[in-house]
Amino acid sequence: MQESRSSRWYFGGVSSTAAACVTHPLDLIKVHLQTQQEVKMRMIGMTLNVVRREGFLALYSGLTASLCRQMTYSSSRFAIYETVRDKMKRKTKGPLPFYQKALLAAFGGLMGGFIGTPADLVNVRMQNDVKLAAELRRNYAHAFDGLLRVCKEEGLRKLFSGATMASSRGALVSVGQLACYDQSKELVLATGYLTDNILTHFLASVFAGGCATILCQPLDVIKTRLMNSKAEYRVSVLTLAYLLYFFLGPNAFYKGLAPAGIRLIPHTVLTFIFLEQLKQHFGEMVVT
């Protein structure tokens, strides 16, 4: 018999939250680039503009909402995916085929995206506040203040504005991250050149982060615009997609692709490296 360690249900949420602390400035710049009506600034220019206007700490605007989002969204999707995957692996006594991983990751991401929508909405608004004129800012003190004010001022339903897009994006990014990470890790280990170590985790997570970025970017752009809107987008998701295509062209759906990748890939790498370390040192012992 052989002993191994499996991930506990909350390790994914803890790992994603820790990774968000490092990558939050990149996420903030990505939101700013996606909410431009016209492409006026690139990534470096936008970063310098934020620091020049508001100071370095402005790059961490909305950090509490970002952490709240990870604790709801990522905890849910990782818990669903890893718990069910491990049970299925023990039953079949072998790795799952990729299509099963993809379906399971999509379901976990769909549920996680819906659960994390309120925190995601507040996160987008807090990040975008620093580039607005003083009289237009919402000035949420922290994530819970934002959630309470949205309920009070706009109604409970507004908390789930963009939930369809957030859930769809959650499904796609989870396929890219969770399913592709597991699959690429298995392929790397199958070569026999590398063992289950940090280099393997790094290579697999870089590939997974790239897949997730490409899959979710169009939905991410639409989701960001829906969540940040006050009254300008009182239309359906399909109508908004058509308007973006008609007025801004197909490139509008990949606005901010570079910063999205620069943010999502490091976030994916850090998440899985933290996750693997937690599993190795604090995981549940399993006898196979």
Residues 5-55 pLDDT 10s:
888 999 999 999 999 999 998 888 877 776 666 656 777 888 888 888 888
- Residue ranges per structural domain of the chain: 3-287
Residue among 78, 68, 76 at smallest CA distance from 21:
68
Residues 219-257 pLDDT 10s:
777 766 666 655 444 555 566 666 665 566 666 666 666
Q: Give 285's pLDDT tier (boundaries 50, 70, 90).
A: confident
The answer regarding whether domain 3-287 maps to CATH 1.10.3720.10 reads: no
Give the per-residue pLDDT at 231: 47
Q: Specify the pTM.
A: 0.83
- Give me the residue label for tokens 């909410």: 35
Give the per-residue pLDDT at 242: 60
Residues 105-144 pLDDT 10s:
999 999 999 999 999 899 888 887 877 777 888 889 889 9
> ∠44-230-255 over CA atoms, to 5°?
30
Tell me what the pLDDT averaged over the chain comes to.
85
Cβ neighbours of residue 220 under 8 Å, at least 6 residues apart? 34, 169, 260
Give the per-residue pLDDT at 232: 47
**3-class secondary structure, 72:** helix
Q: What's 135's DSSP letter?
A: G
Residues 149-181 pLDDT 10s:
999 999 989 899 878 888 988 999 999 999 999
- The string over 29-57, giving b where at least 16 C-beta atoms fall within 10 Å of a residue's C-beta and e elsewhere, is bbbbbbbeeeeebebeebbebbeeeeeee
The CA-based diameter of the chain, rounded to the nearest angstrom, is 66
Q: Which range has the worst mean pLDDT, 59-73, 103-117, 197-211?
A: 59-73
Quote the CA–CA distance of 36 and 184 in Å, as a whole number: 35
Give the per-residue pLDDT at 223: 67
